[in-house]
Chains A and B, each alone.
Chain A
Amino acid sequence: MVKYLAKDDLKCIQCGTCEEVCSSAYFKTKDRFKSCIQINEEQGKPEISVCSQCGKCIDICPVMAISRDKQGIVRINKKICVGCFMCVGFCPELSMRQHDDYIEPFKCIACGLCAKKCPTGAISMAEKDDSQSQELKLDKLFNK
């Protein structure tokens, strides 16, 4: 199973609490541009932008710094990362983040802190089937 942050745009009131919680937890600062979850506005309506743990970025990374952990969460190993930001450009949800203060990208790791503080239940922790993971199976691909 894959743990992820489920979202319901219709319930979002754009209060910004999730962004504050995330950037505080992640970077010890209140800055929405340093938050893994970001609330945008699309044609006057709130749109929650956050990683769906699809795993597309896993195959994009040139150094295999991105992988899925035991809980199915897609994580970046910043020690290995070479800061190319291809994963940012190729994220189907546009939810892989980059900030000039850091040379590595960052993303939602489904920790659930923001969901706990969301006043309307627009975001919540959920699980989905492995079959929705989109990364390649390398062993199969190379017959190794």
Chain B
Amino acid sequence: MIKVNNRDFQWEQGMTVDDIMKIKKFSWPKIIVKINGQHVEEEDYKTRIVNDGDDVQMLHLLAGG
């Protein structure tokens, strides 16, 4: 189990940041990703592996018409 935005999220072996974003359907172009407080750059989303127990934050920058 990991945390995504402070909510429980089912973890799987080998899961990447990009995998989580796909499952959560996070398509907003301005998302800040942090794992255990460390920033993850967009170009690393597909390769950055998330480990069991990680605290993942995917902060959507607010906007709106």
Direct A–B contact in the complex, CB atoms closer than 8 angstroms = no
Chain A interface residues toward B at CB < 8 A:
none
Interface residues of B (CB under 8 A from A): none
